[in-house]
A and B are shown apart, each in its own frame.
Chain A
Amino acid sequence: MRKGMKWAVSFMAAGLLLAGLTACGNSDNKDNSAGSASSKFASIEQLKKDGKVRIGVFADKPPFGYVDADGKNQGFDVYIAKRFAKDLLGDESKAEFVLVDAASRVAYLESNKVDIIMANFTVTDERKEKVDFANPYMKLSFGIVSPDSAPVTSIDQLKEKGQKLIVAKGTTAETYFTKEYPDIELLKFDQYTEIFAALKDGRGAAIANDNTELIAWAKSNPGFTVSIPAFGGQDTIAPAVAKGNTELLNWINTELETIGKEQFIHQAYNDTLNEVYGEGYTDELVVEGGKVE
């Protein structure tokens, strides 16, 4: 018994040591970024010298970021990311796509494993503390999708017992419901693949997520409808860079203005989103030149 105690104590000590180490690490990083930003991030000059820019995109979220049957990155985010690479380094093939998950987007920027995140990244105050957002290229609200046989037409319906709401971990929808509706029971999954599978299996009453995502999914899955198309205010989607990487941030903002003059985001919409949402939604979704009217 006493021996057991001894072990328990030493493990706890080891745990604390580990926690201490990582905590130190974080503060060290912050010192670095405050002191000598240039040493931590690759400068634009450095990116040009390397001939590549690392852009974090989704691999399983059509039509924004996905991998096609030939293994190539495609989608709305990717389309714009390629243009960035072309204007920054002269060739769109110089974009090195890093495939990220919703929950690890911030970690990728914080650990400097990507230069830009273009993975349908919704701007939030919480995230702003950890990464720097450029101006937006898209706007959206939340939506709720549910089966036609048992449509959820008001959020209050979800407060009833046994009505589980499905969300993906690390998304703004998860944060919104945890904060605003703590009495709604949430069913959380890591991957986007899983939330749709869960709704189909009837493990939950509805999915809450960005409305775009759901409009597109419901359109191609008969038997399911976006029963609440928009609620919870308007959000914007923007490219993000590591905290303190002002040089790249400014470049992206200027770039968004430049390509805004030729209505490039509209073109991206036409080429990647039209077949999924239809033309009717362009003005609701697209932000041109980085400015929301």
Chain B
Amino acid sequence: MQNSGIEVLFEGSNFERLLGGLLVTIEISFVSIVIGTVLGIVMGLLRTLNVKPLQALLRLYLEAFRIIPILVWLYVVHFSFTPLLNIDISGETTSILVFSLWGAAEIGDIVRGALQSMPKHQEESGAALGLSRGQLYRYILIPQAIRRMVPGAINLATRMIKTTSLVVLIGVIEVVKIGQQIIELGVIKAPTASFWVYGFIFILYFAVCFPLSRISRRVERRWQN
């Protein structure tokens, strides 16, 4: 019997399960991106202020997320911190927590970088016009900084979406794990299933990440001048 393996995608409720897994992936990454962006903007603004202890603290926070792998964060938070504090949260909540904090750290750095890259004369011209510090940020610096933030932020968003494949290790069943379940079940009947399942997962990730790249390009072009 010729069995190409592609049928495995449509067996039982496999197709819906894969899409359901994708939904988990999307949920974790998008909620985290939104929370991370809000916190990150606040953090970026704080980091442009010249307060030494605050600077050190925020820098430490950023480096902690940059240096320690996200996998380690997930593991430590899920299996050590939360049980230690006697909180029982689901793997999904842990994932959103860790990804949000990671997002906040990285977005904070992107915001800081964008603000500090503004030519000094922008700030000085604004001050010469008699704008207060708040007005300076609101009307001159932030609108221009946002334009510079877009590529970095979109890059981070796509990275986060792809990194959700790690959450399986704390028991969250997302799209890649469901794919592996289907492959393992199919091993007996269709040994080539892995090609089709991973191929399909590739298309799913592409379908989520590609629009983000397009939006990024469009936004950049629109704000060019």
Contact = CB atoms under 8 A, between A and B. Distances in A.
Interface of A: 7, 10-11, 14, 22, 25-26, 28-29, 59-62, 66-71, 98-101, 103-104, 107-108, 110-113, 190-193, 196-197, 217, 220-221, 276
Nearest to A190: B169
A252 to B, nearest CB: 22
A113 B191 CA distance: 34
A25 B80 contact: yes
Contacts of A221: 187, 191
Nearest to B12: A69
Contacts of B187: 62, 196, 217, 220-221
B215 interface: no
A250 to B, nearest CB: 24
A92 B78 CA distance: 28
A111 B173 contact: no
The 6 closest A-B pairs by CB, nearest first: A69-B12, A25-B84, A111-B83, A60-B184, A220-B188, A107-B79
Interface in B64-96: 64, 67, 75-76, 78-84, 88
A25 B76 CA distance: 11
Interface of B: 11-14, 17, 56, 59-60, 63-64, 67, 75-76, 78-84, 88, 168-171, 173, 177-178, 180-185, 187-188, 191, 194
Contacts of A28: 84
A60 B193 CA distance: 14
Contacts of A22: 76, 80-81, 84
Given A99-B177, A104-B169, A196-B187, 7 more contacts: A22-B84, A25-B81, A26-B80, A62-B188, A71-B12, A98-B171, A99-B171
Nearest to B67: A11
A230 to B, nearest CB: 23
Given A70-B12, A100-B171, A62 B184 contact: yes
Given A14-B60, A191-B180, A217-B187, A111 B169 contact: no
21 contacts: A10-B56, A10-B60, A25-B80, A29-B83, A60-B180, A60-B181, A68-B12, A69-B14, A70-B13, A99-B173, A101-B168, A104-B169, A108-B79, A108-B171, A111-B83, A113-B78, A113-B83, A113-B171, A192-B184, A193-B180, A220-B191
Contacts of B180: 60, 191, 193
Given A10-B56, A98-B171, A69 B79 contact: no
B17 A71 contact: yes
A145 B188 CA distance: 16
B12 A104 contact: no
A101 B59 CA distance: 35
A122 to B, nearest CB: 19
Given A22-B76, A66-B184, A101 B169 contact: yes
A129 B189 CA distance: 40
Nearest to A107: B79
A14 B188 contact: no
B161 to A, nearest CB: 20
A193 B183 contact: yes
Nearest to B76: A22
B185 A62 contact: yes
Nearest to A217: B187
A68 B185 contact: yes
Nearest to B170: A104
B183 to A, nearest CB: 6
B184 A193 contact: yes
Contacts of B75: 107
A77 B55 CA distance: 53
Contacts of A103: 169
Interface centre among B64, B84, B182 (most CB of A within 10 A): B84
A61 B171 contact: no
B84 A29 contact: yes
Contacts of A70: 12-13
A110 B79 contact: yes
A11 B60 contact: yes
Interface centre among B12, B84, B184 (most CB of A within 10 A): B184
Nearest to A39: B86
Contacts of B14: 69
Contacts of A112: 83, 88
Contacts of A7: 59, 63
A137 to B, nearest CB: 22
Nearest to B78: A111
